[in-house]
Amino acid sequence: MTTAKFPRFILFALCLAAVAGCSGGKRDAPAAGGPEGQPGGQPEEPPVPVAVAPAELGAISSYYKATATLEAEKEAQVLARVAGVIAALSAEEGDRVGAGAALLRIDNNEYRLRADQAAAAAANLRSRFQRLQAMRDEDLATDEEFEAARSELARAEADEGLARLNLSYTEVVAPFGGRVTRRLASVGQNVSVGTPLFALADFDPLLAKVHVPSREFNKLRQEQAVELVLDSVGRRVQGRIKLISPVIDPASGTIKITIEIPDYPEGTRPGDFAQVQIVTERRDGAVLVPRSAVLTDKGETVVYVAAGGDGATAERRVVEVGFTDDERTQILSGLAAAERVVVKGQRSLKHGSKLKVLAEGAGS
């Protein structure tokens, strides 16, 4: 029995040896190369297409920005100064009128008669006074009679003047040149003294009033230029500081600034809104880059610099920024003038990325 089992054992051992030999052959095989024969199996990343612009030296300003409602320089309600019935209208809403232009007429027949009556009484007393003056020169009239006549004449002349003044008030005129914003009376209406007849406004120039923090007070001056953007038409217009209040509002800690806008697009009216920008500080010789070049990455303010020529690489720079306006940002540190910064395509970059510069210029 022992002799029968021996050949099977030998056969099993030979099989194990053959399997071990096959496995060892696989372990000794050389490792295959990566794609395209590169070690590690990672392809080279293609260049990132970008646009660049040079950092430039220039001037930039800081602004105080606020929203204001446009106002007319002068506004007034025109009131009736005598009582009566409105006989005619000479102006309508929207009309431009000059100072002293007729707006309406109140029936003046009664006022004309009163003026004529007062004029007749004054003329009669004037003749009497002149006779008494001649008689006094000849000692035919006493001083008391003469003084009484002179007093009566003065009173009559005053009555005549008042009657003629009331007659003039029946012709209602514009107190200043401007635009009729509202008509408040109609033909045939019986008005009394103080009845509102028209609302009038002078649109030339328009005004904007803003309240600026008191800490900015020393940075402002009269006649200083101001830029405004009109909400109604989206246009930029130029104004100037006309008035600076001499007091600080204790409730808000602000100072009222009145801005005059002499020129504006047709159709701009009081009540329109405007975005106001007042320069509070100006810096010359600053290093400036387009706003689009500046990014916030991992809590840091950075720009990407195109280092080298056409085959440039991206260099990530942490920078400190200063003033910013609508188009540019001031760089206080981390970048020099004339260095090229990436203004488009930089969000796909990392430090050391290859660049393909497609455009170079001022940026936006």
Residue corresponding to tokens 């796909």: 348
pLDDT recorded at residue 35? 47
SS (H, E, C) 257-310: EEEEECCCCCCCCCCCEEEEEEEEEEEEEEEEEEHHHCEEECCEEEEEEEECCC
Helix, strand, coil percentages in the chain from 3-state DSSP, rounded to 5: 25, 45, 30
Backbone angles phi, psi at 60, to 5 degrees: -145, 150
Q: How far apart are CA 364 and CA 354, in angstroms?
A: 22
3-state secondary structure of 205: strand
pLDDT at position 236 over 50: yes
Cβ atoms of residues 272 and 314 within 8 Å: no
Q: How far apart are CA 105 and CA 187, in angstroms?
A: 9
Q: Which two tokens stand for residue 138?
A: 């000849």
**Selection from 67, 66, 70 nearest residue 204 by Cα:** 70
pLDDT recorded at residue 10? 38
**Selection from 151, 131, 149 nearest residue 140 by Cα:** 131
The HSE-up count of residue 35 (CA atoms within 13 Å, CB side) is 4
Pairing of the two strands 254-261 and 196-213: antiparallel
Handedness of CA 120, 121, 124, 129 (dihedral sign): negative
108-169 has which fold?
A: Helix Hairpins (1.10.287)
Q: How far apart are CA 62 and CA 250, in angstroms?
A: 26
pLDDT recorded at residue 310? 65
- Range(s) of the chain covered by CATH 2.40.420.20: 48-60+284-360
**Selection from 25, 108, 63, 1 nearest residue 216 by Cα:** 63
- As a whole number, mean pLDDT of residues 152-164 equals 96
pLDDT recorded at residue 44? 75
* Percent share of the chain, pLDDT over 90: 65
Q: What is the pLDDT of residues 99-120, one digit of tens each?
A: 999 999 999 999 999 999 999 9
Q: How far apart are CA 79 and CA 104, in angstroms?
A: 11
Q: What is the pLDDT of residues 41-86, one digit of tens each?
A: 566 789 999 999 999 999 999 888 899 999 999 999 999 999 999 9
Q: What's the pTM value of the predicted model, to 2 decimals?
A: 0.63
Q: What is the pLDDT of residues 264-311, one digit of tens each?
A: 998 888 999 999 999 888 899 999 999 999 999 989 999 999 998 666
Amino acid at 122: A
pLDDT recorded at residue 29? 42
- Range(s) of the chain covered by CATH 1.10.287.470: 108-169
CATH assignment, 48-60+284-360: 2.40.420.20
pLDDT recorded at residue 215? 83
pLDDT class for 17, splitting at 50, 70, 90? Answer: very low
Q: What is the pLDDT of residues 240-269, one digit of tens each?
A: 999 999 899 999 999 999 999 999 998 888
Cβ atoms of residues 282 and 331 within 8 Å: no
pLDDT at position 31 over 70: no
pLDDT recorded at residue 60? 94
64-72+203-282 has which fold?
A: Elongation Factor Tu (Ef-tu); domain 3 (2.40.30)
Q: Which two tokens stand for residue 304?
A: 């990407």
pLDDT recorded at residue 28? 43
Please report which residue ranges of the chain form alpha helices under DSSP H.
2-27, 109-137, 143-169
Q: How far apart are CA 187 and CA 339, in angstroms?
A: 75
Q: How far apart are CA 117 and CA 106, in angstroms?
A: 20
Q: Which two tokens stand for residue 142?
A: 């006493």
pLDDT recorded at residue 346? 87
Q: What is the pLDDT of residues 160-209, one digit of tens each?
A: 999 999 999 999 999 999 999 999 999 999 999 999 999 999 998 999 99
- As a whole number, mean pLDDT of residues 9-37 equals 43
CB-count exposure of residue 335 (10 Å: 0-12, 13-18, 19+): buried
pLDDT recorded at residue 25? 42
